[in-house]
Structure 1
Amino acid sequence: MTTQRLARDWRVPGAIVLLALLCAAALALHTHRGAFLQWCLAAQITLHRYLVMYLLQLNNHQYSGGLWLLTGAFFYGVLHAIGPGHGKFIVATYLSTNKESQTAARVIPFVGSLMQGVSAILFVFILAVGFNLASGSLSESRWYVEKISAVLIGGFGAYLAWHAAKSIKPRKLTIRTLSARHQHGAACGCGHHGVGRESQGDWKTRLGVILAIGARPCSGAIMILLFSNALGIVTWGIAAVMTMAFGTALSIVGLSLAVRYARNRTATFFAGEAQFGWLVPVLKMAGGIALMLFALVLFLTVIPVSANGDYIAAGC
């Protein structure tokens, strides 16, 4: 009894300290957000130029450039995952508000990241190779694809919010009905007390996360594919894009495992507190609303159309 009381005593101060640290980190990131985004953009343009240089070496039959191309593409994917992006936001929002197994926390972001590479390949092959569109038309098509993908992400967020809102009222009624007949205990296993005891995500939601990530192809991957297609070495461009997607996938998997661990620790932190049972669907609804707002930001900040081609506008 004394041990449980001591555990309860340090929960609130510990939560306050953790919240204060998170607020300080968010304030620091917000203060230096402009400089950070400028650095990310400059680093991406520099990496674009290096990757284009390796493609030009391959075009001149310097096959050592192929090794450097794949190596540079992998590190581009890793660094791309560190900067701001929709995949990280979707994965972090979903895993922080939904209970998932460790396997799902690995597979979902991994497959979603690889789908980004596949989406970029399909985009270039269908439009550039199949329809033989000019650079300006490809840039306009990319603009429409990114707009549509933002709408899909917003639709997925709306689905999560609606699903969570629908589960709030039945959950409360179930608790009241069972409480009259059944006395809850620590080992009763009924699942109606404590945070984090809700069922794991279904396959439809998991598929929605994967599609929300993969539906928006990486602009850097599209640029490399367009340039490699212009040089006539599309195979190397595809290899570079999938290596890039693999590097992004590894980074996002690490992030997803960290988010899942933090969520489970938080659930354990508040375990046994029946009054927090309502918090689970509310957090899920908040996550869905956050995705909708993020999708709105993506929709309004799509890279403008470039008449000369995206890869030229990106400094390639």
Structure 2
Amino acid sequence: MFIDNLVVTLSQAQHSFNDSILSQLQSIRDAHSLIAYAGLMAVGFVYGILHAVGPGHGKVVVSGYMLANENSLKRGIVIVALSSLMQALTAIVLVESFFFILHMPQAQAEHWAGLLELVSYGGIGCIGLYLMVQGLLTLRPRKTQHAHAHNEHNQAHEHEHHHHHDHDGHCCHHAPVPTEGKNYSLTAIAGMIVSIGIRPCTGSLLLLYFACLFGLGFAGALATLAMGVGTAITTGSLAILAVKSRSLAMKFVNKSDRALTLAHGFLRLAGGGFILLLSVLFALPHLQDTAPPAVEQHPLFKSIQ
């Protein structure tokens, strides 16, 4: 019941902000004042915070990746910030190039946005597969060290005993612990940022389109960047929660190297599987029909009728 009421409240708030965006665009067109520009950016910022709370794959994917593979809170914040910035820039480049350079209708921009969304889901699916493979490799039994010790035992018992003791001590001090060192891939991080950032937010697309109709492309771009900041705050909060939850869970794990390795492996396998499943579920409807919903169905369009 609480969740249903929260969803309804957020939906009503987003519709209210749709009207506020249109009102601010009209104020900028009529007055061209800094206050009107600041008002539009403020509306975009709050809209981004609320819009990120609603349905969407970006925050879930980032949180899943953080939970499965990240120990660094700073690195998680960087991923969120760059992916949100790229989302805003993708929307700006897509809409304004189609409107001002190619002189194509908004439906064409939305169609290409739908195709970019499919590419985004494909990239996210690859990230999920990558995490699953890493998890399986981490969970793979270690056989090489046992075989090495066994071969030495066949050569000389006294020598093997002394060497085996030193060798075990050496491993105890230098075996890679999963929570130390470099446990991340720059390629995977870059892929995560691009996969999320290449999918423009539908709210920013409509905001930019109507800003272009008013001849206010620059104002629309500023508001879209502010919207990206709002989205980053919400998504970043969830990423922080994921990293903290991961750290807390690790405190309950046996501190032996093997126990930590198994815990990291299971987290990567489960997190990667969840991300892969999510990408497939989001992509299936688009594979059946890549055409975007008609712009006439959007509340912003209805409000100017």
Moved more, 45-54 or 239-248: 45-54
Among all aligned residue pairs of Structure 1 and Structure 2, give the percentage whose two residues are the same amino acid: 23
Structure 1: which 5+ residue stretches go unaligned?
1-30
Answering whether residue 40 of structure 2 is matched by residue 57 of structure 1, we say: no
Superposed CA RMSD: 3.0
Answering whether residue 265 of structure 2 is matched by residue 297 of structure 1, we say: no
Which amino acid is the alignment partner of residue 100 of structure 1?
N
Summarize the alignment of residues 81-92 of structure 1 with structure 2, pairs less than 5 Å apart. 81-92=52-63
Which amino acid is the alignment partner of residue 224 of structure 1?
L
Provide the rounded CA distance (Å) in 1 between the counterparts of 2:224 and 2:284: 26
Provide the rounded CA distance (Å) in 2 between the counterparts of 1:131 and 1:102: 42
Answering whether residue 43 of structure 2 is matched by residue 72 of structure 1, we say: yes
Which amino acid is the alignment partner of residue 130 of structure 1?
I
Residues 227 and 38 of structure 1: CA distance in aligned 2, closer, same or farther (over 3 Å): same
Summarize the alignment of residues 95-134 of structure 1 with structure 2, pairs less than 5 Å apart. 95-134=66-105
Which amino acid is the alignment partner of residue 190 of structure 1?
A
Summarize the alignment of residues 187-202 of structure 1 with structure 2, pairs less than 5 Å apart. 188=173, 190-191=175-176, 196=179, 199-202=182-185
Corresponding residue SS for 1:277: helix
Which amino acid is the alignment partner of residue 98 of structure 2?
L
Which amino acid is the alignment partner of residue 45 of structure 1?
H
Shift of 1:83: 2.7
Provide the rounded CA distance (Å) in 2 between the counterparts of 1:275 and 1:61: 65
Shift of 1:275: 4.4
Tell me if structure 1 keeps the 8 A contact 2:92–2:221.
yes
Summarize the alignment of residues 159-308 of structure 1 with structure 2, pairs less than 5 Å apart. 159-169=130-140, 172-173=142-143, 176=146, 181=164, 183=168, 188=173, 190-191=175-176, 196=179, 199-273=182-256, 274-275=258-259, 277-301=261-285, 305-308=292-295
Corresponding residue SS for 2:184: coil
Paired residue for 2:158? none
Shift of 1:54: 0.5
Shift of 1:260: 1.1
Provide the rounded CA distance (Å) in 2 between the counterparts of 1:313 and 1:73: 14
Provide the rounded CA distance (Å) in 2 between the counterparts of 1:37 and 1:183: 57
Moved more, 220-229 or 284-293: 284-293
Shift of 1:284: 0.8
Provide the rounded CA distance (Å) in 1 between the counterparts of 2:254 and 2:271: 21
Residues 129 and 34 of structure 1: CA distance in aligned 2, closer, same or farther (over 3 Å): farther
TM-score (norm 1): 0.77
Which amino acid is the alignment partner of residue 93 of structure 1?
G
1:98-126 deviations in Å (ceiling 9; x for gaps): 13323212211111111110111121133
Aligned length: 283
Tell me if structure 1 keeps the 8 A contact 2:98–2:109.
yes
Tell me if structure 1 keeps the 8 A contact 2:136–2:269.
yes
Which amino acid is the alignment partner of residue 66 of structure 2?
L
Which amino acid is the alignment partner of residue 239 of structure 1?
L
Provide the rounded CA distance (Å) in 1 between the counterparts of 2:185 and 2:98: 35
Answering whether residue 27 of structure 2 is matched by residue 42 of structure 1, we say: no
Which amino acid is the alignment partner of residue 113 of structure 2?
R
Residues 203 and 308 of structure 1: CA distance in aligned 2, closer, same or farther (over 3 Å): closer
Shift of 1:86: 1.7
Residues 52 and 276 of structure 1: CA distance in aligned 2, closer, same or farther (over 3 Å): same
1:222-256 deviations in Å (ceiling 9; x for gaps): 11001101110100000000011012212322322
Shift of 1:191: 3.4
Provide the rounded CA distance (Å) in 1 between the counterparts of 2:267 and 2:291: 35
Paired residue for 1:6? none
Corresponding residue SS for 1:200: coil
